[in-house]
Structure 1
Amino acid sequence: MENWLMTIMNDFRYECKGRFVIKKLIVVLITLLLAGCDNVQHHPDLSETIYSIVENKNSSEISLKSLTSFDWEKAFLFTPYTTQEEIEERLDVNFNDPSNIDYRDDIYLLVLMNDGIVDQYVEVARQGADFKIGEKEYLTPSADLIFIERY
């Protein structure tokens, strides 16, 4: 009888530990998911639209405002190999670059901000071209041209 009771108590202890471990694991997973989530949205449709404009060899500029259906106040264009520190310094906000542009030479990174917050980002494929915004630090809806320089 005693062995039976000890077995039940051990099973109960193991089950409680298991539940505690599972609860702990769920809390850790939720925390990781929330930490990894931010409100910055990748905009693949805009990326594809820009791709088709650049693909047309007669195109020499991109009017960003005409391609966007969402509000934005500033758009920053980052060249290949731009470091995380440089991006954050120019944006003047914390931004975890999801494109890893600091290791890539196949894209430019376009970051759109609204109300001082990074709202959207676009990976712009180079396609045998470089992109310039002139002497400006960033684009605005009223000064929105990205120039295509083919090589």
Structure 2
Amino acid sequence: MEVSLNKLIKEDHSKTIDIGDLITYDWERAYMFHPYTEEADMKDILGLKFHDPVGMALRDDIKLFVVVKDDNTFEYVKVQLGYGYLIMGEEYYLTPENDVVEITQP
């Protein structure tokens, strides 16, 4: 999913992405964490045990996109900020029913 999402952001000239089209399994919700987000804050938001795999508290080059499955496991994707920016709507997270994000170019 990481390669596909970053490629879409970098090369596709559309204004939106249906994230659900890239997720090939049942999922419950997905979150986008911004640079400098602390691991403790991610745990609170996700509501489950989580070990930050990329050190977001020290990163300013990526956003971390985390997908939560029904069984509380997850997948994460590093979204390169140099390719473009994903902007979610007013909701703090995505669901299979509400999975469209906006793309803006740097």
TM-score when scaled to structure 2? 0.90
Percent sequence identity is 31
Counting helix residues as a fraction of each chain, which structure ranks higher?
1
Segments of 4+ moved more than 3 angstroms: none
How far the C-alpha of 1:54 sits from its partner, in A, is 1.0
CA apart distance, 1:52: 1.2
Runs (5+) with no aligned partner, structure 2: none
Partner in structure 1 of residue 88 of structure 2: 133
Which structure: larger Rg?
1
- Conserved in 1, the CA contact under 8 Å of 2:6 and 2:83? no
Check 1:62–1:88 CA distance in 2 against 1; reply closer, same or farther (3 A cut): same
Alignment partner of 2:53 out of 86, 90, 98: 98
Residues 1:61 and 2:16 aligned together: yes
Q: Which structure 2 residues correspond to residues 18-97 of structure 1 after superposition, within 5 A?
A: 46-56=1-11, 58-97=13-52
2:58 & 2:36 partners in 1: Cα distance? Answer: 6
Relative contact order, CA 8 A, sep 6+: which one is greater? 2
CA deviations over 1:70-94 (Å, ceiling 9, x no partner) = 1111001111111111101111112
The alignment of Structure 1 onto Structure 2 pairs a total of residues equal to 106
State how far apart, in whole Å, the 2-side matches of 1:89 and 1:68 are: 24
* Distance across 1 between alignment mates of 2:71 and 2:85: 27
User: Greater share of strand residues, 1 or 2?
Assistant: 2
Instruction: Return the alpha-carbon distance in structure 1 between the equivalents of residues 12 and 95 of structure 2.
Output: 25
Alpha-carbon RMSD: 1.4
Unpaired segments of 5 or more residues in structure 1?
1-45
